[in-house]
Amino acid sequence: MTLDTPTAPVRIVPRGASLSALPPVATPALKTLCSNCHLRDICLPCGMAHPDVARLDGLQFGRRKLKAGDELYRGGDRFQFIYAVRTGTFKSNLMLADGREQVSGFHMAGELMGLDGVANGRHASAAVALEDAEVCAIPYVHLNELTSGSADMQMVMARLMSREIVREHSLMMLLGSMNAEERVAAFLINLSQRMKARGYSPSEFHLRMSRAEIGSYLGMKLETVSRTFSAFQQQRLLEVDKRHIRIVDLEGLQRAFEPSVH
Amino acid sequence: MTLDTPTAPVRIVPRGASLSALPPVATPALKTLCSNCHLRDICLPCGMAHPDVARLDGLQFGRRKLKAGDELYRGGDRFQFIYAVRTGTFKSNLMLADGREQVSGFHMAGELMGLDGVANGRHASAAVALEDAEVCAIPYVHLNELTSGSADMQMVMARLMSREIVREHSLMMLLGSMNAEERVAAFLINLSQRMKARGYSPSEFHLRMSRAEIGSYLGMKLETVSRTFSAFQQQRLLEVDKRHIRIVDLEGLQRAFEPSVH
DNA sequence: CGAATTGTTGATTCCCCTCAAACTGGGTGG
DNA sequence: CCACCCAGTTTGAGGGGAATCAACAATTCG
């Protein structure tokens, strides 16, 4: 007997399915070498020894450009590639049978998308560009062949998947046991850290996603997101102007999301 | 620059740390062979070719018995093994800095635990036996060495990790966009399917976890869980007596958790 | 320029949490 | 053997936080 998804409490529905099966790599002319990439220390090759990175170059994978709103893949699409963000920002979308959607993640430069497709050979989520963007499309079977044979590379791959699990853990904690203010604070702090890690200002940045998308991600309504931003502004923790964010009091924000010593 | 957990909105805290570092395999005398195991079709070897399963036997990993309430590992413990449930039921527990805990999963025979430890070499969650139980303790580095060299086996491992990601997706949908009745219905249906897959009655079973643990898992309070059970009973969907559950109207339950065509 | 999208804010509603009390079954020790 | 306690469960009453409904401002876009 074979179980397909042994412990999933909710069935995520392949919707839109394969009709969106675009030619997955639009610009095969642009070949990419990890070893020269300015993102190599925060992307797929992170943690690999130099000779292994050189072996990655052998994959000769292509890039793909997307415009704001374009779908990279949809839930139900055949899984062939994992994608690494080069530029731009993406959201991942889950869909329930009744059409309810939920954002399950935001992805920026160096982060991988599509690892959930390994399980069943079909993408479990959709990926949508929030602004003009470019990705590397890494053919999974080839990657798999390459990494088998090197326990080190295999470990790096396993670590990347495990990180995704850990990331979702923390989102589950957020959704399961935090109130609105804590959720928004955690979201902003996380964003701030990721901006900083990429060399941008951790205290002042531009949101690439709408209030509705933030709300969907955080399990609350867009009005509540807006109100919470306003509340933080009144508490002199933030300055908010539409999508422009300035974090005035980072420590105050951190207190806001770990409030009770309990 | 190296990022440790690139996109985690909330930091899960290693708590209790290494003081619980028991000798990880209590009974090394009991060696286990996957190829003879009655769980081989729903456990780690699922999807592997026969010769590969035979290679798994070479790992000669040990078992470990636990009593109800025993901790298999804690958040922060060094990651050495992944564990496969042989008998009994477990819960996984996440913990926040302020001490808030949340159940992130229930695990029954054939299911794997501990994959979240691959990311940082430390377990991100704790695993606790809900009843007397037995697990296989599979040394991860050895497993990794074994599977590198076989793209097939590596693929099986990757699939297992990806499944965990997909499972958490569905839990995120549940936590982010379902009401109390939908959550409990989804929980029961999922449990029912897993019982069925293991040869038990899908319509009548015994809950191994308390109302509080169910509530923690589903992001609600124990009283609400209890009330929802009572409500389902009044709607003639269930018969509930403490932890004994009989599903009277499965289709009704399914409707209860996908109610609105929207 | 009108239409559509996005964001803010207010008023009201409601679902679930909180607090509290009572009941159950099981284990323990006098 | 029974009284006692304790952890787990059920149920009720009341309150609060976020959802819902609605109006309006600011931008963007065709």
**Three-state helix/strand/coil letters over chain B:** CCCCCCCCCCCCCCCCHHHHCCCCCCEEEEECCHHHCCCCCCCCCCCCCHHHHHHHHCCCCEEEEECCCCEEECCCCECCEEEEEEECCEEEEEECCCCCEEEEEEECCCCEECHHHCCCCECCCEEEECCCEEEEEEEHHHHHHHHCCCHHHHHHHHHHHHHHHHHHHHHHHHHHHCCHHHHHHHHHHHHHHHHHHCCCCCCEEECCCCHHHHHHHHCCCHHHHHHHHHHHHHCCCEEEECCEEEECCHHHHHHHHCCCCC
Helix/strand/coil for A202:
coil
Altogether, the residues listed in chain B come to a count of: 262
pLDDT digits (tens, 9 = 90+) for A143-188: 999 998 888 999 999 999 999 999 999 999 999 999 999 999 999 9
**Which of A157, A219, A258 has the CB atom closest to B176's CB atom?**
A219
Which nucleotides on strand D sit less than 7 A from a protein beta carbon? 8-13, 17-22
Q: What is the pTM of this model?
A: 0.91
Q: What is the pLDDT of residue A79?
A: 97
B162 token code pair: 């990806």
Q: What is the pLDDT of residue B16?
A: 52
The structural domains of chain A, ordered by start, are 34-170 (2.60.120.10), 178-261 (1.10.10.10)
Q: Strand D closer than 7 Å to the CB of B262?
A: no
d(CA A45, CA A139): 15
Q: What is the pLDDT of residue A15?
A: 57
Q: What is the pLDDT of residue B1?
A: 45
Q: What is the pLDDT of residue B98?
A: 83
Q: Give residues 209-228 of chain A lying near strand D (Cβ < 7 A).
A: 215, 219-221, 223-224
Sheet holding A62-66, edge to edge: A27-31, A62-66, A133-139, A81-87, A112-113
Q: Return per-residue pLDDT of chain B as tens, 262 residues.
A: 444 555 788 887 765 544 444 545 445 456 778 998 999 999 999 999 999 999 999 988 899 999 999 999 999 999 999 999 999 999 999 998 888 899 999 999 999 999 999 999 999 999 999 999 999 999 999 999 999 888 899 999 999 999 999 999 999 999 999 999 999 999 999 999 999 999 999 999 999 999 999 999 999 999 999 999 999 999 999 999 999 999 999 999 998 876 443 3
d(CA A106, CA A217): 9
d(CA B135, CA B86): 5
Helix/strand/coil for B74:
coil
pLDDT tier for residue A253 given thresholds of 50, 70 and 90: very high
Neighboring chain B residues of A84 at a CB cutoff of 8 Å: none
Q: What is the pLDDT of residue B142?
A: 93
The DSSP bridge pattern shows strands A204-206 and A126-129 to be unpaired
pLDDT digits (tens, 9 = 90+) for A2-42: 445 557 888 877 655 444 445 444 454 567 789 999 999 99
Residue A221 has pLDDT above 70, yes or no: yes
**Cβ <8 Å between B168 and A163:** no
Residue A118's alpha-carbon distances to A89, A101, B183, in angstroms, are: 22, 21, 27
| Helix runs in A148-221, H state only | 151-177, 180-197, 211-218
Neighboring chain B residues of A43 at a CB cutoff of 8 Å: none
d(CA B101, CA B94): 6
